[in-house]
Chain A
């Protein structure tokens, strides 16, 4: 879990800091200038664990968790398909739950445990879900694939944890990994190549192996 005390700046500090920076930047401009120069970027330090390794970054507050990974840590496995939380290509597992990393700022994740696709497995040491995607051809162009796989791993954990979905008929019965549950829960991960049928097969196989 994030440790608020270890943040370099709290929320109020950030707002004060931003205002101060804006004021400072505005000072040198001549009065009556058509447009004030915009504020210099406010940065903050953030530390989290990525794929088991502690990483510390000094980031522009506007940097998404996705861009922190892709542009600052050079972990480019998480993809930017839309940058608006509409496609799921950026899915990471943060503190055990999948999230759209494009929709969250990196500085919000102080102390978090983050798993990206690179942390699940490597080319010569595939995670079972990665291996199942290869076996069932659960991808084509590969761009949505890291998000599908991170989502897929998290979905099976969600079902195991008894978290219901829109299609769960009986909230009191033990939750099953059905094709309907997989399709419902995976629908935030778009695959334009249309590998859905194969992805469901891959996930079903991994779920069966774990059971």
Chain B
């Protein structure tokens, strides 16, 4: 189905199932531990052996030799594959680092061997008997040191944000120089780790030249192609299966070392092999969100109209790696006649930087939305009003190009009202509650809506049961449920008559999970297939599909009503289709918007920050399942608290690695860090986006929320920290009335 004109009235608009807050259909499996994750598939292949991955202990250099003699003699060892046993393997899609093969070490904890044994304990013990001889080379590990000489580099996150090396509108420098009120501030954000709860894991089994991977991956079609490329196989000989994914956040967009080494280990062992990356390996072996240094310059008239907006960001990456696209949202969020956005990329020898939840916007808004708070204070204008004054309904970079639907102002006004913004004391450091200095902050949230081709197959059996099959993944996002809701709405059956099967590369290729593009596109693909199935049902029943009404498990036409399953009595009906998009995304700018409001308490003596209240108001098109969409948003808000207050991969700039590479050293928010969170979805539908009239929402929660936390800390204390995360050591010496 080609979607090239805005959607009219369609069966989804009935909203009998879609749009209702719905318990997840996979919930009973997840809560009972019966949902099978990658490493747990005892049922799929007999006689599985265990692989244990060894990572390099240098950041850069060469492997001179690997002594596996002792390891090979160890009890239970079945096979050992080292990086010297194979030439450097090709890279998969979107990766800068090579995963395995050859003697070159590009980054710390790059995989150098996999030891396969009868048991996990034996594989682990034997792995530590492998001796690797390295020839280390000096590397570059310090972003701040490399930033001044970094060249301009454009790039795209592949997840919806992108920018050129430099983009200009009007005369930024001139307008900034002439602006009566100016802000020029530099912000830093930290390297962050996805730290999803399920480690990267794969079971690999070969049948001749055919390889099956039961793995944990967000993008099945990409990964099938990548596995074929990396291992030199025909794509049709690769099957990838990920029905349950224990979190990804961008870290599982790609094939990683677990999949490659399970496959190589299985080939060497002559039997299925299962590999999970150990937790301490993940931060350095896989990808991370790169640190940034961002300079923001804002110029405004005294009445608070922005006349100059400049945002420059520098990040670092391996050769062939991309910049963190932190300036992307600044092209679109506020009006302003004179604009500059620019990115520089330093060459670093740290592990690969790549997409993590809302790549670009998450760190970009940490800087931009603190800068907006600082500017509002300089202007003496309320931060909410300042943002509303600079709202735009058209793309500021391309005059005349409208947003498909933009209600940022509604988000900000609704949020201000519900959160009690009017009661905020704009003078910092004035509100005390016991030992805590209390502050309130806000920020705007912004993330683009991406349109990506997505396919599905829908089958109808004689019992009237509808089965949806697509390689779409559910990484916690709620895909199972919204896909079932879509099929139920389209075919006129209750939710429990729909079976959803996901994550298998034998199913039609979908958009996959990333860039908050999964929900809208995957359900639109299911919509397209259901339109075909409705047509097939009507034909089989000999009725005009235009007259057919699908409701209550029946197909009605005029006075005739037959059970839906009737259409499949002579044999199952099946329909395959995909949603494909025309140029509506070019004609219109499609984005989603939020207003984030946060209250913090900062301990007056220790400067410990406690988040007390959080509210997000979201304008993101039709919300398909308000229950799981709300969870996506609060999850983003939680990760945003992490970015604002605690998350930081600490770089050893001498040896070149992330030091705190486990869940004790890399702190993420825990229960005690997160208060009750509120989410309001503005009631809207965007017919320009898709037939579902939905947009992305899964990353909107993290976009801007960290800045709201930072602005609340400032309102509480009067201390402005521009170097994230805002840990107490950065606050304590500047706290008011510090004893």
Given A60-B119, A81-B198, A190-B670, is A195 in contact with B631 using a C-beta cutoff of 8 Å? Answer: yes
A76 CB to nearest B CB, Å: 4
A193 near B476: Cβ-Cβ < 8 Å = yes
A142 near B676: Cβ-Cβ < 8 Å = no
B135: Cβ under 8 A from any A Cβ: no
B294 CB to nearest A CB, Å: 25
A84 near B32: Cβ-Cβ < 8 Å = no
A89 near B197: Cβ-Cβ < 8 Å = yes
Given A139-B27, A186-B671, is A41 in contact with B33 using a C-beta cutoff of 8 Å? Answer: no
B199 near A117: Cβ-Cβ < 8 Å = no
Q: Which residue from chain A places its CB closest to the CB of B42 in the assembled complex?
A: A74
A40: Cβ under 8 A from any B Cβ: yes
- Which residues of the partner chain B approach A52 to less than 8 Å between Cβ atoms? none
A141 near B197: Cβ-Cβ < 8 Å = yes
A149: Cβ under 8 A from any B Cβ: yes
A150 CB to nearest B CB, Å: 9
Q: Which of A7-15, A122-130, A156-164, A169-177 contacts B (4 or more CB under 8 A)?
A: A122-130
B635: Cβ under 8 A from any A Cβ: yes
B247: Cβ under 8 A from any A Cβ: yes
A158 CB to nearest B CB, Å: 15
Given A35-B129, A41-B76, is A77 in contact with B33 using a C-beta cutoff of 8 Å? Answer: yes
Taken together as a complex, chains A and B put the C-alpha atoms of A128 and B616 apart, in Å, by 30
**Which of B197, B280, B636 sits near A143, CB closer than 8 Å?**
B197
B31 near A86: Cβ-Cβ < 8 Å = no
B246 near A83: Cβ-Cβ < 8 Å = no
Given A38-B70, A41-B76, A190-B663, is A78 in contact with B197 using a C-beta cutoff of 8 Å? Answer: no
Listed residue (B74, B278, B279) with the most chain A CB atoms within 10 angstroms of its CB: B279
Query: For residues 107 through 136 of chain A, which have their beta carbon under 8 Å from a beta carbon of chain B?
Result: 116-118, 120-124, 126, 130-131, 133-135
**Which of A60, A67, A140, A183 sits near B635, CB closer than 8 Å?**
A140
Taken together as a complex, chains A and B put the C-alpha atoms of A176 and B289 apart, in Å, by 41
A98: Cβ under 8 A from any B Cβ: no
Given A60-B119, A70-B40, A197-B674, is A76 in contact with B33 using a C-beta cutoff of 8 Å? Answer: yes
A86 near B662: Cβ-Cβ < 8 Å = yes
A72 CB to nearest B CB, Å: 9
- Which residues of the partner chain A approach B672 to less than 8 Å between Cβ atoms? 183-184, 187
Taken together as a complex, chains A and B put the C-alpha atoms of A63 and B120 apart, in Å, by 8
Given A137-B23, A195-B634, A200-B671, is A80 in contact with B199 using a C-beta cutoff of 8 Å? Answer: yes
Q: Which residue from chain B places its CB closest to the CB of A179 in the assembled complex?
A: B676
Q: Which residue from chain B places its CB closest to the CB of A87 in the assembled complex?
A: B663
- Which residues of the partner chain B approach A143 to less than 8 Å between Cβ atoms? 37, 196-198, 246-247
B735: Cβ under 8 A from any A Cβ: no
A31 CB to nearest B CB, Å: 16
B122: Cβ under 8 A from any A Cβ: yes
B573 CB to nearest A CB, Å: 29
B196 near A192: Cβ-Cβ < 8 Å = yes
**Which of A40, A192, A197 sits near B675, CB closer than 8 Å?**
A197
Q: Which residue from chain B places its CB closest to the CB of A182 in the assembled complex?
A: B671
A194 near B42: Cβ-Cβ < 8 Å = no
Query: For residues 190 through 228 of chain B, which have their beta carbon under 8 Å from a beta carbon of chain A?
Result: 194-199
B35 near A142: Cβ-Cβ < 8 Å = yes
Q: B interface, by DSSP: helix, strand, loop or mixed? A: loop
B432 CB to nearest A CB, Å: 20
A194 near B636: Cβ-Cβ < 8 Å = yes
B75: Cβ under 8 A from any A Cβ: yes
B638 near A196: Cβ-Cβ < 8 Å = yes
A81 near B33: Cβ-Cβ < 8 Å = no
- Which residues of the partner chain A approach B676 to less than 8 Å between Cβ atoms? 179, 197, 200
B33 near A140: Cβ-Cβ < 8 Å = no
- Which residues of the partner chain A approach B119 to less than 8 Å between Cβ atoms? 41, 60, 63, 71
B21 CB to nearest A CB, Å: 9
Given A40-B75, A183-B671, is A198 in contact with B631 using a C-beta cutoff of 8 Å? Answer: yes
- Which residues of the partner chain A approach B668 to less than 8 Å between Cβ atoms? 190, 192
- Which residues of the partner chain B approach A197 to less than 8 Å between Cβ atoms? 634, 674-677
A118 near B476: Cβ-Cβ < 8 Å = no
A194 near B32: Cβ-Cβ < 8 Å = no
B395: Cβ under 8 A from any A Cβ: no
A130 near B32: Cβ-Cβ < 8 Å = yes
B36: Cβ under 8 A from any A Cβ: yes
Taken together as a complex, chains A and B put the C-alpha atoms of A196 and B638 apart, in Å, by 9
B476 CB to nearest A CB, Å: 3
A41 near B635: Cβ-Cβ < 8 Å = no
- Which residues of the partner chain A approach B27 to less than 8 Å between Cβ atoms? 133-134, 137, 139
Query: For residues 618 through 669 of chain B, which have their beta carbon under 8 Å from a beta carbon of chain A?
Result: 627-628, 630-632, 634-639, 662-664, 668-669
A62: Cβ under 8 A from any B Cβ: yes
A194 near B244: Cβ-Cβ < 8 Å = no
Name A's B-contacting residues (CB within 8 A): 34-35, 37-41, 60, 62-63, 67, 70-71, 74-84, 86-87, 89, 116-118, 120-124, 126, 130-131, 133-135, 137, 139-146, 149, 179, 182-184, 186-200
21 contacts between A and B (CB under 8 A): A38-B126, A71-B120, A74-B42, A77-B32, A78-B33, A80-B39, A80-B276, A84-B663, A87-B197, A126-B32, A140-B628, A141-B197, A141-B245, A142-B476, A143-B37, A144-B197, A146-B31, A192-B194, A195-B634, A195-B635, A200-B676
Name B's A-contacting residues (CB within 8 A): 23-24, 26-37, 39-40, 42, 69-70, 73-76, 119-122, 125-126, 129, 194-199, 244-249, 276, 278-280, 475-478, 627-628, 630-632, 634-639, 662-664, 668-672, 674-677
Known: A139-B30, A139-B476. 12 other contacts (CB 8 A): A38-B126, A40-B75, A41-B76, A63-B121, A82-B663, A141-B198, A141-B244, A141-B246, A143-B197, A192-B639, A194-B639, A199-B671
